[in-house]
């Protein structure tokens, strides 16, 4: 832009002929010179000639129209998607179901993690939702057993996957967890 503005493209190609086999009446017929086909040799700093300015406005106008049309198209597509998906709901059994109870997905997003709850938290798992799921999935009389059993198994796996000397040794096989993942689980359990 400092040296020259460059070739102006209209519909992805050079400026087409529009006035009896020429792009503008300022050029000779059948001219293949760069200036006759939309090449702007001057810079904005030095100023554009009238023909260069006209070619530049042709390309700029196409960009404005394209932006306006694309905005409308993507907005309409987004509206149709929202309308078609508005009756879907994530259930406590982690399935995604329609308002009539039809299963759309067996687990939300393939991993069960809700991106709205993960935003700004830096945590890999929604522990509260997992506990709510256990409470709904199992009878109230067995909550203590299932919660204790689940937390104990997680705790044993975490102990086996860390090399922290302050933790008692564990003979279970180590899991392939990152240290951040282990610390997050340990913080929740303890």
Please tell me the predicted confidence (pLDDT) of residue 155.
Answer: 57
| Residue 107 within any structural domain of the chain | yes
Residues 17 and 78 in one domain: yes
pLDDT digits (tens, 9 = 90+) for 12-61: 888 888 878 888 888 888 888 888 888 888 888 888 888 888 888 888 88
Please indicate, yes or no, if residue 68 is contained in any of the structural domains.
yes
Task: Count Cβ atoms within 10 A of the Cβ of residue 74 and give its class: 0-12 exposed, 13-18 middle, 19 or more buried.
Answer: exposed
Count of domains observed in the chain:
3
Which position has the token pair 């006759």?
Answer: 36
The model's pTM is: 0.41
User: Is 91 within a domain?
Assistant: yes
Question: In which band, very low, low, confident or very high, does the pLDDT at 121 lie, cut at 50, 70 and 90?
Answer: low
Domain end (from 83, 105, 132): 83
Alpha carbon distances (Å) from 132 to 90, 97, 105, 111, 127: 13, 18, 20, 17, 9
Interval 85-118: pLDDT, tens: 999 988 888 888 999 999 999 888 777 776 776 6
Do the domain assignments include residue 156? yes
Instruction: Say what the pLDDT of residue 15 is.
Output: 84
15 domain-assigned:
yes
140 lies in a domain? yes
Specify the range with the lowest mean pLDDT, choosing from 24-38, 43-57, 63-77, 138-152. 138-152
Shared-domain flag, residues 101 and 76: no
Domain carrying residue 69: 6-83
1 assigned to some structural domain? no
Same domain, 26 and 70: yes
């Amino acid at each position: 832009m400092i040296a020259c503005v460059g070739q102006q493209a209209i519909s992805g190609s050079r400026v087409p002929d529009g006035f009896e086999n020429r792009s503008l009446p300022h050029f000779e017929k059948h001219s293949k010179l760069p200036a006759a086909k939309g090449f702007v040799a001057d810079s904005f700093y030095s100023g554009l000639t009238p023909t260069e300015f006209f070619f530049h406005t042709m390309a700029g106008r196409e960009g404005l129209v394209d932006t306006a049309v694309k905005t409308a198209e993507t907005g309409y597509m987004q509206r149709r998607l929202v309308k078609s998906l508005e009756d879907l709901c994530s259930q406590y059994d982690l399935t995604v179901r329609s308002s009539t109870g039809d299963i759309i997905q067996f687990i939300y997003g393939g991993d069960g993690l809700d991106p709205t709850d993960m935003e700004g938290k830096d945590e890999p798992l929604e522990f509260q939702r997992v506990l709510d799921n256990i409470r709904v999935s199992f009878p109230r009389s067995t909550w203590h057993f299932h919660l204790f059993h689940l937390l104990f198994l997680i705790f044993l796996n975490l102990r086996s996957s860390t090399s922290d000397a302050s933790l008692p040794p564990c003979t279970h096989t180590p899991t392939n967890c990152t240290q951040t993942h282990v610390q997050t689980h340990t913080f929740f359990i303890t």
